[in-house]
């Protein structure tokens, strides 16, 4: 497949390496331009491009940027694309500032879809970047880490789940995009390196009345590193 990755941090660059190793044609971009991506391109085999070029691929676009960067993306291109858009981001108030829509109840990815004007699939956000980089295992291996995939387009979810399996992780259906709060920061399913049975249980364990509490706890934990 032709896959564009917008964002060259740990998640974006790690996915670029995994996906090129599998034979996919990967284009990676960031806000600083392709000239800043030489080292990542050399390491991963991905092609360094502009954000507009990454947004123009035909199959899958993975958006791995903080919420504050979303509105700076080429929204017109992304809104019109026929590709699957995967949102891999997470919202942290200490880093990203106050977001009224999220505070009023939208999930991170519902807000992403609103900004981009395009449906999105939520994935790759509930695994540590270090685990994504080093803990992939062949299908059927014991204690294989699972990743939750949420969204409203069943066919798109299945495509992303298959891609996750290719990379070396189990994928489970996280439900509708409105339920993707269950895999957001601070929840029982977030960054715990769980197998698929344990991840499914953690998603069910999440208490909607504690959404603000989950976020506050996660935000407090990350604050010293910002």
User: Average pLDDT for residues 22-33, to the nearest whole number?
Assistant: 97
143 has pLDDT over 90: no
Q: pTM (2 decimals)?
A: 0.97
168 has pLDDT over 90: yes
* pLDDT of res. 226: 82
What is the per-residue DSSP string for 58-80? SSEEEE-S-HHHHTTS-HHHHHH
Q: Would you list the domain boundaries of the chain? A: 66-225
User: Average pLDDT for residues 16-29, to the nearest whole number?
Assistant: 98
* pLDDT of res. 225: 86
Q: Rounded CA gap, 190 and 131, in Å?
A: 12
Q: Is 149 helix (H, G, I), strand (E, B) or coil?
A: strand
User: Average pLDDT for residues 123-140, to the nearest whole number?
Assistant: 97
The token pair at 161 is 């789940």
**For residue 47, what are the contacts with CB-CB under 8 A and spacing of at least 6?**
25, 26, 27, 28, 41
Task: Assign a CATH topology to domain 66-225.
Answer: Rossmann fold (3.40.50)
169-184 confidence digits (pLDDT tens): 999 999 999 999 999 9
- Nearest 10 degrees: CA dihedral of 185, 189, 194, 200? -150
Q: Rounded CA gap, 191 and 223, in Å?
A: 16
Average pLDDT value over all residues in the chain = 97
User: Average pLDDT for residues 184-194, to the nearest whole number?
Assistant: 97
Q: Check the CA dihedral 73-64-122-106 and report its sign.
A: negative
* pLDDT of res. 92: 96
User: Average pLDDT for residues 184-203, to the nearest whole number?
Assistant: 97
User: Average pLDDT for residues 31-47, to the nearest whole number?
Assistant: 97
The token pair at 79 is 């809104």
Closest Cα partner for 27 from 11, 45, 42, 49?
A: 49
75-109 confidence digits (pLDDT tens): 999 999 999 999 999 999 999 999 999 989 999 99
Q: Rounded CA gap, 76 and 220, in Å?
A: 35
Q: Rounded CA gap, 20 and 45, in Å?
A: 6
């Amino acid at each position: 497949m032709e896959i564009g990755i917008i964002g060259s941090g740990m998640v974006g660059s790690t996915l670029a390496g995994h996906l090129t190793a599998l034979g996919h044609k990967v284009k990676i971009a960031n806000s600083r331009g392709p000239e800043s991506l030489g080292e990542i391109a050399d390491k991963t085999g991905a092609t360094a491009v502009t954000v507009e070029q990454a947004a123009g691929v035909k199959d899958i676009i993975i958006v791995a940027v903080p919420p504050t960067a979303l509105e700076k993306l080429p929204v017109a291109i992304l809104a019109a694309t026929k590709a699957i858009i995967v949102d891999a981001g997470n919202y942290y108030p200490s880093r990203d500032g106050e977001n009224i829509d999220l505070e009023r109840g939208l999930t991170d990815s519902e807000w992403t879809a609103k900004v981009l004007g395009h449906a999105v699939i939520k994935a790759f956000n509930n695994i540590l970047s270090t685990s994504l980089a080093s803990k992939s295992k062949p299908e059927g291996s014991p204690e294989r880490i699972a990743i939750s995939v949420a969204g409203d387009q069943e066919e798109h979810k299945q495509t992303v789940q298959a891609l996750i399996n290719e990379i070396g992780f189990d994928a489970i259906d996280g439900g509708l995009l409105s339920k993707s709060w269950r895999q957001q920061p601070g929840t029982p399913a977030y960054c715990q390196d769980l197998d698929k049975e344990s991840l499914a249980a953690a998603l069910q364990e999440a208490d909607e009345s504690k959404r603000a509490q989950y976020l506050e706890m996660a935000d407090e934990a990350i604050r010293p590193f910002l």
